[in-house]
Structure 1
Amino acid sequence: MQADIVIVGAGPVGLCLARLLSGLGLNIVMVEQQCLADISEPQFDGREIALTQKSVRLMRKFGLWDRIDPHARAPLCSAKVFNGPSPGALEIGHELSGHTELGWLVSNHLIRKAAYEALRQSAAEHADVTLLAGQKVSGVKAGEDLASVTLESGETLPAKLIVAADSRFSSTRKMMGIAANMHDFGKAMLVCRMTHEAPHEHAAWEWFGYGQTLALLPMNAERSTNAHQSSVVLTLPVGQVNEIAALQPDEFARHIEQRFMHRLGAMKLASTRHVYPLVAVYPQRFVGKRFAAVGDAAVGMHPVTAHGFNFGLLGVETLGNRIIEAKKSGFDIGALSVLQRYEIQHRRATRPLYLATRFITDVYTNNTAPAKLARDIMLRAASRLMPFRKAIAASLTG
């Protein structure tokens, strides 16, 4: 099977890239180790994605946004940052951004489903995308004129360009000999939906407690009961997270109420619970000979700044536009000069915030007395600096 592009990974980023490139006269093959049912009907995985205004525009462009139930798209009107037990917070309101909301919150599984449906419609119209589900890549090679992907089944797929979109621990990237700087925070985050008595007023919370980090992502009201509902994120050392995740639902709810210092009133578990390790990844290169990495395979962010998927969509747009330009000009889409333009642009867009996120997590999860004092001073100063608050608002809106 001869292809122009082989995309390894049919998560939302890989699907969006295939959707962007569909209809341009390119033969695209996608390889995904999950079965087709898991790709077409993904299950709730606990993750709520904070989308910037720019990401929503891209999702509209790719045909995803209108496929998502409006009730499942929750507006994010403000963001609050708390430090320790103090009730005061640095607040960033939507009015600082010039928009009626900073962004939107949508469940990851709904984005994945919308991306699959948008691609399926385009592929049916243009007959240019082949999805190989339940297949795993065992080898990748790159030559001067062609690259190739070998599947565990023994089949080899030649292509002009190989794109890795297969997670921050990308085996495809490793097979290309590209090293990555990884930072294991030694912690895990527990995510789930909970209902609560007090209204959230569509404000997201980032609460750097002493010995824990809490986040609250405001969702629309629970459909059947109209109860206030949020996604709760608790970050602790792995062992503690696993113990809490194993609590019975009522005991779990009382435990989370206490961790939130009862600021949300009575709380109730409203979904399954999911635990994810916290590891940040930044490869030394995004591209190689006839190879490019996008999504988490390119930039694996700590979730504290909520830019992981937003960077994924940005990478799709940047790489996709470079491929489209090359195709229209009759140029080799896998040429290193084409891919390097993507790398330079995407690195400039992502590196500063990646480093800033590392700094934030290092300072705001350090529980020594000097660190506690420093972060309190920084938050108080930031709350008085309007240019700084506007800069944060601009970052949140994209």
Structure 2
Amino acid sequence: MQRCDVAVIGGGPTGLAFAAALAESGLGIEVLERQPESALASPGFDGREIALTHSSQALLRQLGAWPHIPADSISPLVEARVLNGGSGYALRFDTAERSEPELGKLVSNHAIRRALYEIASRAAGVTLRTGTAVSGIRTDVEGVTITLADGDVLQAGLVVAADSRFSAAREMLGIPAERRDFAKRMMVCRLRHAAPHHGVATEWFDYGQTIAMLPLNNNCSSAVLTLDPEDAARLERMPEAEFGPEVARRYRQRLGAMELVSTRHTYPLVTTYAGRFATTRAALLGDAAVGMHPVTAHGFNFGLRGAAALAREIRAALTAGRNFAGPDVLRRYATAHRLATRPLYLATNATAVIYGEASRPARLLRDAALRLGNHLAPVRRRIVAGLMEAP
């Protein structure tokens, strides 16, 4: 039987960030990941671009991960616009009333994953155990017993589940989660286009589809298409040469002619929110705690914030000579993370529902909400501050 202080289930970016945040704390950290190490060291392009807030950028710099992200994977996000249906009217968010020149940075998900692997794999006290699946978890006041699929048993003082919004570890811990299936598919890919984007991200809530264009370097954008499953399947099968022109047509030529320059990736559109973020000797992080709708592009920011908050509580307990996995430590993390995530989670889901409706009353409400947002300066400033998370 093997032992460690903290077992992290899931070697994704949030799990690796948490492990790196506890480096040199004196604790022994084991990261359990079912994928082979090669998938962590050299993750493939998955279509996702992450809108990193100023706070998230600062956290990645503190971890030492930022220098490991290639410059061509980092694109400035200057402004965000929301469009509705056939109207040309836009709700705008920018930094005109702030000192910062940008809302944030768009960074490729696979580049973030690779950078965090570089840090975590070399961090003092952190061990990566890859190709390892977890088949059972048992916790009590004395500790945690984790049974692995190969029959090995690992004992730990704390287990942290960071293994996706469909977390098997969360289920093993007996923690329920509310789940909303939007019955849609999200397709993501990169397109090169004729017209410049000027660093502006656009979210267009059309009737029957939602298209977001996230500005990338080299006159490219990350296209995020929210579609009915049948429509998504048809676009997946479409020959590459026809795909760019089809998206340009759907997007009403706002960026001119388009050309597909990456692989296409499709994901189910499901949001989740755990009933609690901690239990005896266990905590949830990342999507295992909060699986956000992509409309606000805030999912990983919450994951990174949660990882930093939990690591901070653990370090404080160690400094004070208290049990690092005690109920008080986990309760403070869980309370803070719920306060930080619950309002935006509910607001995001409500926005997705309202702007996914095409009935006459919904169309009127959608248009009124956009126009009201532009005219309520304090509300708009508060939203910008939330989107930026500027320190």
| TM-score, shorter chain, exceeding 0.5 | yes
Map of 2:183 onto structure 1: 186
8 Å Cα contact 1:188-1:276 kept in structure 2: yes
Given the alignment of the two structures, is residue 170 of structure 1 paired with residue 161 of structure 2, yes or no? no
**Deviation digits for residues 2-59 of structure 1 (CA, Å, limit 9, x no counterpart):** 1000000000000000000011110111100000100110010000000000000001
Rounded to whole Å, the distance in 1 between the matches of 2:128 and 2:156 is 15
Stretches of structure 2 that go unaligned for 5 or more consecutive residues are none
Matches within 5 A, 1:214-363: 214-221=211-218, 228-363=219-354
8 Å Cα contact 1:96-1:393 kept in structure 2: no
Aligned amino acid, residue 45 of structure 1: D
Given the alignment of the two structures, is residue 131 of structure 1 paired with residue 128 of structure 2, yes or no? yes
8 Å Cα contact 1:47-1:107 kept in structure 2: yes
Offset of residue 70 of structure 1: 1.7
Rounded to whole Å, the distance in 2 between the matches of 1:244 and 1:96 is 41
8 Å Cα contact 1:97-1:397 kept in structure 2: no
Rounded to whole Å, the distance in 1 between the matches of 2:144 and 2:254 is 56
Given the alignment of the two structures, is residue 34 of structure 1 paired with residue 35 of structure 2, yes or no? yes
Rounded to whole Å, the distance in 2 between the matches of 1:216 and 1:189 is 13
- Using the size of structure 2 for normalisation, the TM-score is 0.98
Map of 1:373 onto structure 2: 364
Rounded to whole Å, the distance in 2 between the matches of 1:88 and 1:250 is 32
8 Å Cα contact 1:50-1:306 kept in structure 2: yes
Rounded to whole Å, the distance in 1 between the matches of 2:126 and 2:215 is 37
Offset of residue 71 of structure 1: 2.3
**3-state secondary structure, aligned to 1:94:** coil
**Deviation digits for residues 268-290 of structure 1 (CA, Å, limit 9, x no counterpart):** 00100000111000011111110
Offset of residue 397 of structure 1: 0.4
**Deviation digits for residues 226-273 of structure 1 (CA, Å, limit 9, x no counterpart):** xx1000011011121011111001211111011101111100001000
Rounded to whole Å, the distance in 2 between the matches of 1:384 and 1:148 is 56
Aligned amino acid, residue 200 of structure 2: A
**3-state secondary structure, aligned to 2:184:** strand
Stretches of structure 1 that go unaligned for 5 or more consecutive residues are 222-227
8 Å Cα contact 2:121-2:127 kept in structure 1: no
Alignment partner for residue 210 of structure 1, among 185, 207, 211? 207
Aligned length, in residue pairs:
388
**3-state secondary structure, aligned to 1:234:** strand
8 Å Cα contact 1:97-1:393 kept in structure 2: no
Rounded to whole Å, the distance in 2 between the matches of 1:12 and 1:349 is 19
Rounded to whole Å, the distance in 2 between the matches of 1:218 and 1:240 is 24
Aligned amino acid, residue 141 of structure 1: R
Rounded to whole Å, the distance in 2 between the matches of 1:283 and 1:72 is 32
8 Å Cα contact 1:80-1:205 kept in structure 2: yes
Rounded to whole Å, the distance in 2 between the matches of 1:393 and 1:340 is 30
Rounded to whole Å, the distance in 2 between the matches of 1:242 and 1:388 is 39
Map of 1:6 onto structure 2: 7
8 Å Cα contact 1:97-1:390 kept in structure 2: no
Q: What do you get for the CA RMSD once the two structures are aligned?
A: 0.8
Offset of residue 382 of structure 1: 1.0
Rounded to whole Å, the distance in 1 between the matches of 2:221 and 2:357 is 27
Aligned amino acid, residue 135 of structure 2: S
8 Å Cα contact 1:79-1:93 kept in structure 2: yes
Map of 1:90 onto structure 2: 91
Rounded to whole Å, the distance in 1 between the matches of 2:323 and 2:142 is 9
Rounded to whole Å, the distance in 1 between the matches of 2:211 and 2:86 is 12
8 Å Cα contact 2:214-2:223 kept in structure 1: yes
Rounded to whole Å, the distance in 2 between the matches of 1:359 and 1:307 is 15
Offset of residue 95 of structure 1: 2.0
Map of 2:373 onto structure 1: 382
Map of 2:47 onto structure 1: 46
- Mean Cα deviation higher: 62-71 or 275-284: 62-71
Alignment partner for residue 146 of structure 2, among 149, 157, 170? 149
Rounded to whole Å, the distance in 2 between the matches of 1:254 and 1:85 is 20
Rounded to whole Å, the distance in 2 between the matches of 1:69 and 1:39 is 16
Which 4+ runs in 1 deviate beyond 4 A? none
Given the alignment of the two structures, is residue 110 of structure 1 paired with residue 111 of structure 2, yes or no? yes
**3-state secondary structure, aligned to 1:121:** coil
Offset of residue 97 of structure 1: 3.9
Offset of residue 131 of structure 1: 1.0
Offset of residue 372 of structure 1: 0.3
**3-state secondary structure, aligned to 1:147:** strand
Map of 1:224 onto structure 2: none
